[in-house]
Amino acid sequence: MQGVFLLLPDFGLILLGWGLRRGMDLGDTLWAGLEKLVYFVLFPALLFNALARTRIDFATAAPLIASGAAATVCGIALALLARPLFRQDGSAFASRFQCAFRFNSYIGLAVLGKLHGAAGIATMGLLIGAMVPLVNLASVWMLARQGNLGVGREMARNPLVLASLAGFAFSTSGLTLPDFASHFLGRLGDAAVALGLLAVGAALRLRGPTGSPLGSCYLLAVKLIAVPAAALLVALSLGLGRVHLDAAVLFAALPTATSAYILTQRMGGDGAGVAWLVSANTLAAMATLPLWLSIVLRY
């Protein structure tokens, strides 16, 4: 029950976004623009600011990053096994493949911020920053392979990858952000979480899945059950402390990000199928995420 009440405000914002899009005549252009604003400006600012202000002890952070990487690799490996479920539809598989391991950072930062304050945001920001290049590399590689596009070019212009690398570089440089820059980026970051959650809700698509329903449901189970279970096992075996344990498991239990849909559309994949699977992930996570939160808080 503690997990349910902790997550109610965040899921409330998601449902509000869904209601606003359908109940107010704001136009699809507004929501598409909001999604791009969060993805290309607000969230990169939040990610860079969280990493740039954190002095990263890589020896201490290594078990946390290892747990996140193990969970992500588990999702990638299990997703590859889904290829036969899509039969001859290579585009549908390449597009939905990423839904087994991509994660919604907005929800993760909101939850860890409630649990552990600034330390939680910094820890989740560190984990997100370390995992963003890995998940984007796997996602872009599969889509580029299907569409004969350049993986390097797509990675080089991904705003989350660039923000993560810049944040890590600034953190390790020993420099300190000027107050005005920190406050400016902080204001953008504050807007990123609330607007990001509203955008998640606005993007929900509740119609039935297109293509292979069995394949989509398999990927859904991988993301919300198998991946967090792998993270919990690895995190416990590595002896992670309170904040790092919570971050590792909740990171793995996050639903798929709407950025999967943006990436798929931009690379000419099966946008409609990804939109449904992202929506199903988000709605199902309203039940599974509180469950995983309740489990991890017992340790």
**pLDDT for residue 270:** 81
Residue 3 has pLDDT above 70, yes or no: no
Residue 4 has pLDDT above 60, yes or no: no
**Residue type for position 136:** N
Question: How would residue 1 be classed by pLDDT, with cut points 50, 70 and 90?
Answer: low
Q: Report d(CA 157, CA 163) in Å as an integer.
A: 10
Contact 143, 266 (CB under 8 A): no
**pLDDT for residue 34:** 87
Q: Report d(CA 240, CA 63) in Å as an integer.
A: 7
**pLDDT for residue 208:** 60
**What pLDDT digit, counting tens, does each position of 28-52 carry?**
888 888 888 888 898 888 878 877 8
Q: What is the DSSP letter of 149?
A: -
Average pLDDT over residues 260-276: 78
Average pLDDT over residues 137-165: 75
Question: How would residue 291 be classed by pLDDT, with cut points 50, 70 and 90?
Answer: very high
At 160, phi and psi to the nearest 5? -75, -35
**pLDDT for residue 32:** 83
Contact 282, 204 (CB under 8 A): yes
Residue 80 has pLDDT above 70, yes or no: yes
Residue 266 has pLDDT above 90, yes or no: no
**Closest residue by Cα to residue 266 from 48, 7, 85, 39:** 39
CA 111-200-188 angle, to 5 degrees, is 65
Q: Report d(CA 45, CA 121) in Å as an integer.
A: 14
**Quick count: other Cβ atoms within 10 Å of Cβ 267?**
19
**Quick count: other Cβ atoms within 10 Å of Cβ 275?**
21
- Domains, the chain, with CATH or none: 2-296 (1.20.1530.20)
Residue 292 has pLDDT above 90, yes or no: yes
Residue 244 has pLDDT above 80, yes or no: yes
Share the mean pLDDT of the chain.
84
**What pLDDT digit, counting tens, does each position of 161-210 carry?**
788 788 888 888 888 888 899 889 988 988 887 887 788 788 777 666 66
**Quick count: other Cβ atoms within 10 Å of Cβ 176?**
12
**What pLDDT digit, counting tens, does each position of 88-116 carry?**
777 889 899 999 999 988 788 888 888 88
pTM: 0.81
| Helix segments in the chain, DSSP class H | 2-23, 28-37, 43-52, 58-80, 90-96, 105-147, 151-156, 159-173, 179-202, 213-221, 227-237, 242-253, 259-266, 271-296
User: Is 27 exposed, middle or buried (CB count within 10 Å of its CB: 0-12, 13-18, 19+)?
Assistant: exposed
